[in-house]
């Protein structure tokens, strides 16, 4: 699957987000090495602390489906923002737990531009099991 199709999958998911408080829908498309795409959306909660981001929703869904660390090939993140929409710091750390540092990360904006980074570029000093 090319990056444009992955980004489009993430964009389509935004309509499924549960965002009654922020009104800020985010969609994610997570490409697995076997070609499977698992999508995620942000799911808010009135307590805010119980809110789950789209990136973690997709990753946790993949783990629940039986995928393992290293099975992830690329991720696309889509919102309606002027700038490119990056994952939050918690999601970056979760990505570092399950994905290789060279995995492509595709960020988008409201103009449908795509910024391609590696996970290492997104999180250059990741805390990993090597730091334990």
pLDDT tens per residue, range 55-92: 999 999 999 999 999 999 999 999 999 999 999 999 99
pLDDT at 132 over 80: no
- Of 41, 84, 86, 34, the residue nearest 59 (C-alpha): 41
Question: How would residue 48 be classed by pLDDT, with cut points 50, 70 and 90?
Answer: confident
Q: Answer yes or no: is 99 a known binding residue.
A: no
Catalytic residue among 15, 44, 55, 80: 55
Distances (CA, A) of 103 to 7, 25, 56, 71, 74: 15, 24, 16, 11, 6
55 is catalytic: yes
53 in a labelled binding site: yes
* pLDDT in the model for residue 129: 75
pLDDT digits (tens, 9 = 90+) for 78-128: 999 999 999 999 999 999 999 999 999 999 999 999 999 999 999 998 888
**16-30 burial by CB neighbour count: b if 16+ within 10 A, else e?**
ebeeeeeeebbbbbb
The ranges assigned to domains in the chain are 3-131
| Superfamily for domain range 3-131 | Cytidine Deaminase, domain 2 (3.40.140.10)
Assess contact for 75 and 103: CB atoms under 8 A: yes
pTM exceeds 0.85: yes
91 is in an annotated binding site: yes
Q: How far apart are CA 120 and CA 105, in angstroms?
A: 10
């Amino acid at each position: 699957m090319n990056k444009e199709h992955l980004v489009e999958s993430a964009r389509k998911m935004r309509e499924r987000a549960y965002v009654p408080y922020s009104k800020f829908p985010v969609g994610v498309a997570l490409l697995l090495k076997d070609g499977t795409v698992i999508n995620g959306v942000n799911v808010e909660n009135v307590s805010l602390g119980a809110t789950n981001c789209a990136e973690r929703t997709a990753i946790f869904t993949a783990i629940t489906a039986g995928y393992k660390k290293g099975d992830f090939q690329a991720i696309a993140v889509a919102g309606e923002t002027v700038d490119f929409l990056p994952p939050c710091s918690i999601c970056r750390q979760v990505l570092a737990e399950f994905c290789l540092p060279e995995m492509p990360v595709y960020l988008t904006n409201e103009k449908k531009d795509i910024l391609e980074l590696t996970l290492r570029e997104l999180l250059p000093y990741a805390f990993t099991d090597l730091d334990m």
